[in-house]
């Protein structure tokens, strides 16, 4: 009986392996990663262009436009999640996606006396993925495109509007390289 199950497993294994969906890990600079991020991407099944990704990103920005409060420096971690669709056959694809990123940030300010003040902030923004993806079945994956982004408003405990991340009406370019398996 065990031999019969083992033989059945060995016969079915090649079919299961060839039917596995594409997956990949990539390093992304800029775009929805803001500075740098590591992302996992997968197709939802082996015969569709639909897929999704999630990542862990580090941000370090001297832009005073990152938050409405105009910090001198913003650093922290963000967690983007997106669904995407790959258009095209073979290795060359157009990528269209929609996602959201939530971040935990530390903002640095100086008061009038010159003392450094650190403030913890959170925020979220929505983004689109519009780009090109070179993606063979296995091997090196390359991504390049733009991420239009918009701040997702929020309210504090008293119901007052707090913009959080101030990324309204911005477009960030991105580039990524990784490995598809």
- The whole-angstrom distance between residue 35's C-alpha and the CA centroid of its chain comes to 11
Share of the chain above pLDDT 90, in %: 54
Distance of alpha carbon 15 from alpha carbon 175, whole angstroms:
35
- pLDDT (tens digit, 9 = 90+) per residue, 44-102? 998 899 999 999 999 998 877 667 667 889 999 999 999 999 999 999 999 999 999 99
Judge contact between 11 and 165, C-beta under 8 A.
no
pLDDT of residue 101: 94
pLDDT of residue 46: 85
Say which residue, 178 or 164, is predicted with more confidence: 178
Only one residue has tokens 């991504």, namely 143
CATH code of the region 22-180: 2.40.160.20
Q: How many Cβ atoms sit within 10 Å of the Cβ of residue 134?
A: 16
- The whole-angstrom distance between residue 81's C-alpha and the CA centroid of its chain comes to 6
Distance of alpha carbon 117 from alpha carbon 68, whole angstroms:
16
Res. 21 pLDDT band, cuts 50 70 90: confident
Is the model's pTM score more than 0.75? yes
Rounded (5°) CA angle 131-137-143 = 20
With 80 as the cut, is the pLDDT of residue 129 above it?
A: yes
Q: Mapped to the 3 state alphabet, what secondary structure does 35-50 carry?
A: CEEEEEEEECCCCCCE
CA distance readout (Å), 78 to 25, 38, 96: 17, 11, 21
Res. 10 pLDDT band, cuts 50 70 90: very low
58-65 long-range Cβ contacts below 8 angstroms, 24+ apart: 59/33, 59/34, 59/35, 59/103, 59/105, 60/35, 61/34, 61/35, 65/166
Distance of alpha carbon 47 from alpha carbon 76, whole angstroms:
37
Q: Which residues of 144-158 are buried (b: 16+ CB within 10 A; e: fewer)?
A: ebbbbbebbeeeeee
């Amino acid at each position: 009986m065990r031999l019969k199950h083992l033989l059945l497993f060995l016969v079915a294994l090649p079919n299961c392996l060839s039917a596995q969906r594409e997956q990949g890990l990539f390093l992304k600079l800029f775009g929805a990663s803001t500075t740098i991020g590591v992302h996992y991407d997968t197709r939802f099944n082996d015969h569709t262009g639909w897929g999704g990704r999630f990542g862990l990103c580090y941000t370090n920005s001297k832009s005073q436009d990152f938050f409405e409060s105009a910090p001198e420096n913003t650093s922290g971690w963000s967690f983007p999640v997106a669904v995407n669709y790959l258009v095209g056959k073979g290795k060359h694809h157009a990528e269209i996606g929609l996602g959201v990123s939530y971040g935990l940030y530390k903002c640095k300010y100086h008061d009038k006396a010159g003392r450094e003040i650190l403030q913890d902030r959170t925020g979220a923004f929505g983004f689109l993925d519009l780009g090109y993806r070179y993606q063979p079945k296995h091997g090196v994956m390359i991504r390049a495109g733009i991420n239009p982004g918009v701040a997702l408003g929020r309210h504090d405990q008293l119901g007052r509007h707090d913009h959080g991340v101030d990324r309204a009406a911005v477009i960030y370019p991105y580039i990524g390289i990784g490995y598809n398996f």
